[in-house]
Structure 1
Amino acid sequence: MKHKRLEILENVKHNMSLDLFRMPFPNKALHCYVLMSIWILLLVAGIYKFLETKQSSPEPILANELFHNLAIDVKTKRIFKICNFPDDITAGDEGIIRSNKWTLKGLIILLRHGDRGPLQYVRNISAVNCGGSPSENLNSYKKYLQNLTSFEKISWSTPGSFHGFPLLPIHPSQCQLGQLTMQGVHQHLNLGGIIRKSYLDVWPKLKNLSHNDIMVYSTRYRRTFQSALAFLKNFLPHETLTKIPISESQSMNFCFKDCGCPATEKLTKVVMKWLNHQLKSHPAVAILSESTGRSLFSPGAEQGRLGSDPQSVRDALLTYICHGSSLPCETPFNCIKRQNVAGIFAYTDWLNHQKWKDPYWRRLCLLRSYGLIRHIVQQMLHIVSSSGPFFVLYSGHDHTIEQLTTTMGIQNDPLLLRFAARIVFEVYQENRDTPNNEATGVYFRVLSNGKDVTRQIMFCKNVLALENKVVLCRIEDIVRFLHDDYFSSLNVSNFKDAC
């Protein structure tokens, strides 16, 4: 039956074609003109109907359905991992050395601040809820802080650079420019509790650390200070928290006495030129970044400059992605779509990996991180000499972590610089199997967001392999690197000549 119908249709079609060609030429042309006119009218009517439906939408925002697809897509799911949601923070390989042959002497931790508001003005910012989800951990912290002070505005009362700093975000549900969010506070509360649990059984000293055993440094930003405080609240005994002196680092690099370096300005210009060249070599990315920036940044917020920088676009996108908000639109018909986000993040991840291999970028990191590495080595030596402090915390930024890990040779990871990221140095002492339990060699291991990366450190040449693929690096190696080999790639022997 089906074949018979097809045969009939073919015959009809053939006969119509013959009839059309049998028509006189003027009639045939008129016939084609009429058919084309009808087709154009139908097409216009369809477009008009489509536009009419679009214009009836009350608000020019991207549909939530498109936004949620971002999390489902295999290629874009990892973007959400950069947000590092509080409930996604889990224990890593910290504190897994459990042997009588080794004594954990102390810890040095470098943190990135938690979730924050955008660094630039973006569209519909008032509609984004940065308050985060309520939790018992967060509510307990709020009550704890309220009991610490009688002030209506909860602030740090200890003398020093941070005296009068608010202990919590001033507007809990709002996304303030560059300020820590309640979600960021929650991240570090969870992280502090997880890290404490990881070390409680293997480092008995943690149970009774006094304020004299602790050294804390933070850059002079509310977001780093409040992040450090939230972390310490769940990491240390509660009675210790208010007695801790928190020292200010005047540089995001924690360079201490080794900050002035004119060569870094020249290297920064070289690196920026290289970044611009990479963007020009990818014109499709440049167009994508500019168009996304127009929909993303508020009018008057230097859209042209910001839109031409994919890193700025990426950072601003996280404001919406990390708080479950719909992505903004420049017009009702020009919204940021899933593929825009995926393209920007794919390019910036690739660029960061390429940058990690660039010799000028590595030199820049070498100079900027010298003061911090020098300070870390000093603290390691204080720890093993039993003079203390035994716990050192640096609360900094993504640049701080990126420059330090690049200098040490730790491989670039797109998730390395997530909110509330952590770099942990564990300092160990070997115990000889003698009646006096005489101490001998001193070692350390490094963990990046819970992953052991000691093998990647370029100056750890002869690592000591333990069970379960755990390795330790001799403190002698990092001391030798700092004093003998640090500036060898620059053909100089000291920081002053390098700068």
Structure 2
Amino acid sequence: MPEKVANYCNDPILSEAGDEGEVPTDEYKLLSLNIIIRHGDRTPLHVIETKGVSTKSFRCYFDEHLIKNVPIIYDFTETMRQSKHAFESLETFKAFNFTTLFPDVMVCPPGVLTPLGAAQQLRNGLSLKNKYNKHNLLTESDFEKNVKIITTMYSRTFQSAIAFIYGFLPKFNLAKLNFEMRDMANMCKRNSKIKCDCPAVQKMENVFANSFEQTWTPHLLPMTDKHFYARVLERFNFNSNKPDPRPTPIWDFLVAHHCHNQTLDDCLLIDLHNHVNEHGVRMTKNGRYKKISILKMIPLLHEILNKLSYNEKMLLGQYRTKNLKRSVTVENNYDDDNGENAVPVKSNVNGVDEPATNHLPTVILYSGHDSTIEPIASSLGFADGHWPKYASRIVIEQYGKNSKNANNNNSSKSLLRILYNGKAVTHLTPFCRNVGDELQKFSLCPTSNFKTFVNEQLSGYRKDCHSMLVKRQNNLDGRERIR
């Protein structure tokens, strides 16, 4: 398997050790984690007729080879079967309208999580649990109240979250876990203060994929791409009676089969892979594309900031009793002062606010899509232009100085550390490039820097959502328009 494509497939049998949690515990205390994941390996979203090639169905159960090489699978499947009654009977899960907790049928239909995808998430969850054990963030006695799981409305993101959290938690009890479903890939919460209806984003919901597809216009392609386009037309038997092929479904179709050892056309796959990623690299250098990514993800970034601000103020000890009486949603939005007077309320699976104790989970898992991961990476400045691999993850760690090592200047301020697929990328963000040698040593950055960045982007959110919705060809890379 070509190396670049193999990286995208993300073989769950291979180790996935990263640098999460690699901060000295004698100097810093881990306060919270915000983990954003892409779902694991899935079946193709599209079925494309291929000339002279017989495509195969995708097996949707764990085989002996996978169980042998990812041992946690056996206990996982047994626990899931034991959890079936809770899954079917609890009101929490009825809104999800899903039938199974994990891939457990003979053949996978289109667009669902495969056993490979579940294994990827099990491995990632277990890997991060091992990384964070030394920080004592979760214990068996209180983990339920300290974890919240937010997923989109697709079974592949829900099942990915289940698999990841099973590997991550010290103990698994489905009935005690706090789930919430959101209906947008950018994880925007409908009843939050920031409106989700940004017209510029709605015209281009999957920013990365759509921007690529809009280059696929024959008379606008450079000569080298025209030859490639002609190969695609011939390979997939497209003619004047069929619509022109869009590259994203073809890429998705080819790579999905490739990840399951069903090679259809290696040469075309490699060429298409390079074509996709070359375009992606161009997009990361385009200011307009980055701005649209920010508009798409600023609701989630603001939500994360609110949680970080709450944790920092708890560290400061500045919450007064009278403020704890206010019914303001800290998990989803704050007052305009970014939470000076806000306290958390619990949200149910549909995101409806309910009365709750004054406690905010220390671990928030967001289970989304490539169209969640890539625009976050672009917004924060560490996107490399490559399509996010299956089971990609972004982790935002929040630390406070241990009291015995703290001084009067910084003991009450929290710090961030951002990682993408196990690699620290804090230094790549525009707000953390000049933080001093002491913080850069561990890829740390003041939370206040992130706060300034988010607030600056938020200040023009409503205006930009409309002003960037243009009718003329004010393009993204010289050819595309938003429409």
Query: In the alignment, which residue of structure 2 is the partner of 1:472?
Result: 444
The equivalent position to 2:294 in structure 1, one of 366, 376, 395, is 366
Change (3 A) 1:376 1:241: same
Map 1:317-356; keep pairs closer than 5 Å.
317-327=254-264, 336=265, 338-356=266-284
Aligned counterparts of 2:304 and 2:58: Cα–Cα separation in 1: 39
Query: In the alignment, which residue of structure 2 is the partner of 1:486?
Result: 457
TM-score (norm 1): 0.73
Map 1:402-441; keep pairs closer than 5 Å.
402-414=374-386, 417-433=388-404, 439-441=411-413
Aligned counterparts of 1:464 and 1:125: Cα–Cα separation in 2: 55
Aligned counterparts of 1:295 and 1:129: Cα–Cα separation in 2: 26
Query: In the alignment, which residue of structure 1 is the partner of 2:176?
Result: 243
Query: In the alignment, which residue of structure 1 is the partner of 2:42?
Result: 116
Aligned counterparts of 1:249 and 1:197: Cα–Cα separation in 2: 29
Residue 29 of structure 2 is aligned to residue 103 of structure 1:
yes
For residue 103 of structure 1, what is the amino acid of its counterpart?
K
The DSSP-based 3-state class of the residue aligned with 2:367 is strand
For residue 450 of structure 2, what is the amino acid of its counterpart?
I
Query: In the alignment, which residue of structure 1 is the partner of 2:101?
Result: 167
Query: In the alignment, which residue of structure 2 is the partner of 1:376?
Result: 304
Identity %: 25
Aligned counterparts of 1:98 and 1:207: Cα–Cα separation in 2: 23
Query: In the alignment, which residue of structure 2 is the partner of 1:189?
Result: 122
Query: In the alignment, which residue of structure 2 is the partner of 1:457?
Result: 429
Contact 1:129 1:323 in 2 (8 A): no
Change (3 A) 1:100 1:93: same
Query: In the alignment, which residue of structure 2 is the partner of 1:134?
Result: 66
The equivalent position to 1:393 in structure 2, one of 343, 365, 368, is 365
For residue 78 of structure 2, what is the amino acid of its counterpart?
K
Query: In the alignment, which residue of structure 1 is the partner of 2:285?
Result: 357
Contact 2:152 2:182 in 1 (8 A): yes
Aligned counterparts of 1:326 and 1:271: Cα–Cα separation in 2: 27
TM-superposed CA distance for 1:95, in Å, is 0.8
Q: Deviations over 1:164-202 (max 9, x none)?
A: 542122524x24210111111111111111110010012
Q: Aligned pairs, how many?
A: 402
Change (3 A) 1:286 1:222: farther
For residue 264 of structure 1, what is the amino acid of its counterpart?
V
Q: Identify unmatched segments of 5+ residues in structure 1.
A: 1-70, 328-335, 488-492
Change (3 A) 1:240 1:267: closer
Change (3 A) 1:168 1:433: closer
Q: Deviations over 1:119-174 (max 9, x none)?
A: 101454444545564313222211111122359xx7574524225542122524x2
Q: Deviations over 1:413-466 (max 9, x none)?
A: 52x600000000110001243799994220011000000000001122432544
Change (3 A) 1:318 1:266: closer
Question: Mean alpha-carbon deviation: is it higher for 384-393 or for 139-148?
Answer: 384-393
Q: Using CA pairs below 8 Å that are at least 6 residues apart, which structure has the higher relative contact order?
A: 2
Question: Mean alpha-carbon deviation: is it higher for 269-278 or for 428-437?
Answer: 269-278
Map 1:26-105; keep pairs closer than 5 Å.
71=1, 76-105=2-31
The DSSP-based 3-state class of the residue aligned with 1:227 is helix
Query: In the alignment, which residue of structure 1 is the partner of 2:225?
Result: 285
Map 1:192-207; keep pairs closer than 5 Å.
192-207=125-140
TM-superposed CA distance for 1:486, in Å, is 1.3
Aligned counterparts of 2:103 and 2:57: Cα–Cα separation in 1: 17
Q: Identify unmatched segments of 5+ residues in structure 2.
A: 315-358, 466-483
Q: Deviations over 1:89-124 (max 9, x none)?
A: 411000111231210111110000000000101454
The DSSP-based 3-state class of the residue aligned with 1:393 is strand
Aligned counterparts of 1:283 and 1:175: Cα–Cα separation in 2: 40
Contact 2:157 2:368 in 1 (8 A): yes
Contact 1:85 1:187 in 2 (8 A): yes
The equivalent position to 1:227 in structure 2, one of 130, 152, 160, is 160
Q: Deviations over 1:392-433 (max 9, x none)?
A: 01000001111111111113152x600000000110001243
Contact 1:432 1:439 in 2 (8 A): yes
Contact 2:218 2:229 in 1 (8 A): no
Aligned counterparts of 1:452 and 1:316: Cα–Cα separation in 2: 32
For residue 157 of structure 2, what is the amino acid of its counterpart?
T
Task: Give the alignment's Cα RMSD to 1 decimal.
Answer: 3.1
Change (3 A) 1:296 1:144: farther
